[in-house]
Structure 1
Amino acid sequence: MVMAPHVSSRHDAPGGVKAVLGPTNTGKTHLAIERLCAHSSGMIGFPLRLLAREVYDRVCHIKGEKNVALITGEERIDPPNARYLLCTAEAMPIMDRSMAFVAIDEAQLAADRERGHVFTDRLLHARGREETMILGSSTLEPMVKALVPAVEIVTRPRFSTLTHAGAKKISRVPPRSAIVAFSAEQVYAIAEMLRRFRGGAAVVMGALSPQTRNAQVALYQSGEVDYLVATDAIGMGLNLDVEHVAFAGLSKFDGQRQRRLTTAEMAQIAGRAGRHQKDGTFGTLSGSGAHDSEFEPEEIYAIEEHRFPPLTKLFWREPEPRFDSIETLINALESPPLRPELAPAPKAIDLSVLKRLAEDPAVAGTVRGSAQVERFWEVCRLPDFRQQGVETHSRFVARLWQDLRTGELGADFVAAQIAQLDRTGGDIHTLQGRIAAIRSWAYIAQRPDWVLARDEMAARARAVEARLSDALHGKLTERFINRRTAVLMKKLGPDSGLLSVRLEDEEVLVEGEHIGSLRGFAFKVDPGARLSDRKLLLSAAEKHLASLLETRADALADAIHAGSAEISLDAGTLMWDAEPIATLSEGRSILAPVLVPERTLDAIPGPSRKALVAALETWLEQALEPLSPLAKLDEASRAEDAGPDLRALLITLVEHGGMTSREQSGVDRLDKQRRTMLARLGVRVGTLDVFVPAMLRPRPMDLWRQLARIAGKKTASSAPETDMPPALPATQHGHVPGYRNLGKQLVRLDMAEKLLREAHEARGTGKARDFKLDPARAVSMGLTTSSYSRLLRLGGFQPIMPRPLAEGAHGPPAPVRWRWRPPRRQTQQERPAAVRKDSAFAALADMVR
Structure 2
Amino acid sequence: MRGSDETMLMGAGRMQNLLQGLGVSNCHDLRQRFSPLSHIGHIKLNRLPKRTAIVAFSADQVYALAEMLRRTRGGAAIVMGNLSPQTRNAQVALYQSGEVDYLIATDAIGLGLNMDIDHVALAETAKFDGRLRRELFAHELAQIVGRAGRGTRPGSFGTTGQARPLDDSTVAQIEENRFQAVSKLYWRNSRLGFGSVDELLAGLAQKPNQSILRRIRRRSDEEALLELAGHRTMGNPDAAQVRRLWEVCQLPDFRKNGIEPHLRLLGELADHVLDRDGVLPDDWFAARLQRLDRVQGNVDALSARLSHIRSWSYCANRADWLADPSHWRDQCRDLETRLSDALHEKLVQQFVDRRTAVLVRIARSNEPIEALFKPDGAVEIAGQLVGHLKGLVFRPQNRSKTLAGRTLRQASKKVLIPEIKKRMQELVEKKDNTYSLNDQGEIVCGEVAFAKLCAGVHVLQPALELLEGGIANADELSVEREKVLSRLNAWLQTELNERLRPLFLLRDKIEAKQLNSAVRGIGFQLLEALGAMDRRSIAKELREVTQEQRGDLRECGIRFGEFSLFMPLLLRPAPSRLLALILAFGPKGSKTPYIAPPGLTSFVSDAEIAPAALSAVGLRKCGKRLIRLDVLERIGGEIRNARQKGEKGSFQPTLEMVALLGCAKPDLPEILGSLGYRREKIEKDAEGEVDELACTWIQRSITAKPSQAKKPNPASRGPHKGTSKSGKKPARGPKPEKKIDPDSPFAVLQDLKLGKK
TM-score (norm 2): 0.51
1:326, distance to aligned residue in structure 2 (A): 1.2
Indicate if the aligned counterparts of 1:501 and 1:509 stay in contact, CA closer than 8 A: no
- 3-state SS, counterpart of residue 136 of structure 1: coil
Structure 1 distance, partners of 2:419, 2:280, is 64
2:234 to 348, 361, 365: 365
**Residue in 2 aligned with 1:447?**
318
* Residue correspondence of structure 1 range 355-434 to structure 2 within 5 A: 355-360=226-231, 363-365=232-234, 368-406=237-275, 407-434=278-305
2:225 matches 1:354: yes
Matches within 5 A, 1:768-779: none
SS at match of 1:135: coil
Report what 1:464 is aligned to: 335
Q: Do 1:509 and 1:516's aligned partners in 2 also have CA atoms closer than 8 Å?
A: yes
- The answer on 1:514 being equivalent to 2:384 is yes
Separation (CA, whole Å) in 2 of partners of 1:163 and 1:509: 44
In 1, Cα distance between equivalents of 2:140 and 2:421: 53
State the match for 2:353 in structure 1: 482
Residue equivalent to 1:541 = 415
Distance 1:185 1:517 in 2: 34
Contact 1:510 1:540 in 2 (8 A): no
Within the candidate set 147, 156, 159, 2:22 is matched to: 147
Distance change in 2, residues 1:505/1:276 (3 Å): farther
Q: Is the 8 A contact 1:499 1:510 kept in 2?
A: no
Deviation of 1:355 after TM superposition, in Å, equals 1.7
| Per-residue deviation, 1:528 | 11
- Cα separation, 1, equivalents of 2:381 and 2:26: 54
Letter in 2 for 1:192: E
Cα distance, 1:234 vs structure 2: 0.6
Alignment CA distance shift 1:502-1:364 (3 Å): farther
TM superposition shift of 1:410:
2.8
Deviation of residue 364 (structure 1)? 4.9
Deviation at 1:154, TM superposition (A): 1.3
Task: Confirm or deny that 1:315 pairs with 2:182.
Answer: no
Alpha-carbon distance change, 435 to 509 in structure 1, aligned in 2, over 3 angstroms: farther
After TM superposition, give the deviation of residue 359 of structure 1 in Å.
2.5
Distance in 2, matches of 1:548 and 1:318, equals 80
How many Å apart are 1:514 and its aligned residue?
2.0
Aligned counterparts of 2:395 and 2:41: Cα–Cα separation in 1: 43
The answer to whether the aligner puts 1:501 opposite 2:501 as a matched pair is no
**For each residue in 1:84-119, what CA deviation from the matched residue of structure 2 results, as whole angstroms up to 9, or x when unmatched?**
xxxxxxxxxxxxxxxxxxxxxxxxxxxxxxxxxxxx
Q: CA deviation at 1:272?
A: 0.5
Alignment-derived partner of residue 140 in structure 2: 265
AA at the equivalent of 1:514 = Q
Does the CA-based 8 Å contact 1:502-1:509 persist in structure 2? no
Amino acid at match of 1:135: M
CA distance, structure 2, for counterparts of residue 323 and residue 342 of structure 1:
24
- Matched residue SS, 1:501: coil
Structure 1 equivalent of residue 641 of structure 2: none
Partner of 2:7: 132
d(CA) in 2 for partners of 1:212 and 1:151? 41
**Whole-angstrom CA distance in 1 between matches of 2:342 and 2:235:** 41
Are residues 1:160 and 2:38 paired? no
Q: Is residue 199 of structure 1 aligned with residue 113 of structure 2? A: no
Task: Please give the residue correspondences for 1:177-216 in structure 2 after superposition, counting only pairs within 5 Å.
Answer: 177-216=52-91
SS of equivalent residue, structure 1 residue 153? coil
What amino acid sits opposite 2:243 in the alignment? E
Q: Percent identity?
A: 43
Q: Contact (CA 8 Å) 1:225, 1:486: kept in 2 or not?
A: yes
**2-side partners of 1:260 and 1:357: how far apart?**
35
Q: Which has the larger radius of gyration?
A: 2
Superposed CA deviations along residues 369-405 of structure 1, whole A, max 9, x for unmatched, are 2110011000100011111232221111011100111
Post-superposition offset of 1:148:
3.6
CA spacing shift, 1:484–1:343, aligned 2, 3 Å: same
Separation in 1 of the partners of 2:323 and 2:422? 62
2:46 to 171, 179, 192: 171
Amino acid across the alignment from 1:226: D
- Matched AA of 1:369: D
User: Given that residues 506 and 517 in structure 1 are in contact (C-alpha distance below 8 angstroms), is that contact kept between their aligned partners in structure 2?
Assistant: no
Give a deviation string over 1:6-46, Cα, whole Å, max 9, x none: xxxxxxxxxxxxxxxxxxxxxxxxxxxxxxxxxxxxxxxxx
Distance between the aligned counterparts of 2:51 and 2:24, measured in 1?
44
Quote the residue 2:195 is aligned against. Answer: 324
The CA deviation at 1:432 is 0.7
The one-letter amino acid of 1:259's match is R
Separation of aligned partners in 2, 1:459 and 1:509: 45
Query: In the alignment, is the contact (CA less than 8 A) between 1:162 and 1:280 conserved in 2?
Result: yes
Q: In 2, Cα distance between the equivalents of 1:366 and 1:465?
A: 39
Where do 1:615-630 residues align within 5 Å? none
Query: Does the C-alpha gap of structure 1 residues 490 and 408 become closer, same or farther in structure 2, counting only changes over 3 Å?
Result: same
Q: Is the 8 A contact 1:438 1:465 kept in 2?
A: yes
Distance in 2 separating the partners of 1:444 and 1:527: 56
Q: 2:50, 2:102 within 8 Å by CA — same for their partners in 1?
A: yes
Distance 1:383 1:178 in 2: 29
User: Which residue of structure 2 aligns with residue 805 of structure 1?
Assistant: none
Displacement of 1:509 in angstroms is 9.4
SS at match of 1:359: helix
Alpha carbons of 1:339 and 1:512: their partners in 2 closer, same or farther (altered >3 Å)? farther
Question: What is the rounded CA distance, in whole Å, between the counterparts of 2:250 and 2:341 in structure 1?
Answer: 28
Correspondence list, 1:522-561, <5 A = 529-530=397-398, 532=400, 533=405, 536=410, 538-543=412-417, 545=419
Give the superposition deviation at 1:142: 1.5
Q: Give the stretch that moved more between structures: 322-331 or 154-163.
A: 322-331
Aligned partners of 2:373 and 2:85: how far apart in 1?
Answer: 33
CA distance in 2, matches of 1:544, 1:319: 73
Deviation at 1:130, TM superposition (A): 2.4
Q: Secondary structure at the match of 2:29?
A: strand
Query: 1:743-788 deviations in whole A, cap 9, x for unaligned?
Result: xxxxxxxxxxxxxxxxxxxxxxxxxxxxxxxxxxxxxxxxxxxxxx
The separation in 1 between residues aligned to 2:149 and 2:379, in whole angstroms, is 30
Q: Secondary structure at the match of 2:8?
A: strand
- The 1-side partners of 2:28 and 2:61 are apart by 40
1:212 Cα deviation after fit: 0.7
Q: Deviations over 1:304-343 (max 9, x none)?
A: 0101111111111111211121122112111111011211
Q: Contact 2:54/2:105 (CA < 8 Å) preserved in 1?
A: yes
The question of whether the paired residues in 2 share the 8 Å contact of 1:273 and 1:281 is answered with yes
What letter is aligned with 2:104? V
Following the alignment from structure 2 to structure 1, what is the Cα–Cα distance between the partners of residues 370 and 281? 57
Q: Where does residue 251 of structure 1 map in the other structure? A: 126
Contact kept, 8 Å, 1:501 with 1:541, in 2: the verdict is yes
Q: Contact 1:516/1:526 (CA < 8 Å) preserved in 2?
A: no
Kept in 1: contact 2:363–2:411 (CA 8 A) = no
Deviation at 1:506, TM superposition (A): 10
Quick one: which amino acid aligns to residue 502 of structure 1?
A: E
SS at match of 1:132: coil
* CA distance in 2 between partners of 1:244 and 1:488 (Å): 22
Q: Is this contact kept in 2: 1:201–1:229, CA < 8 A?
A: yes
* 1:451 Cα deviation from its structure 2 partner: 0.7
Indicate how the Cα distance of structure 1 residues 443 and 504 shifts in structure 2: closer, same or farther if over 3 A, else same: farther
Change (3 A) 1:393 1:455: same
| Aligned match for 1:298, one of 161, 169, 177 | 169
Corresponding residue SS for 2:124 = coil
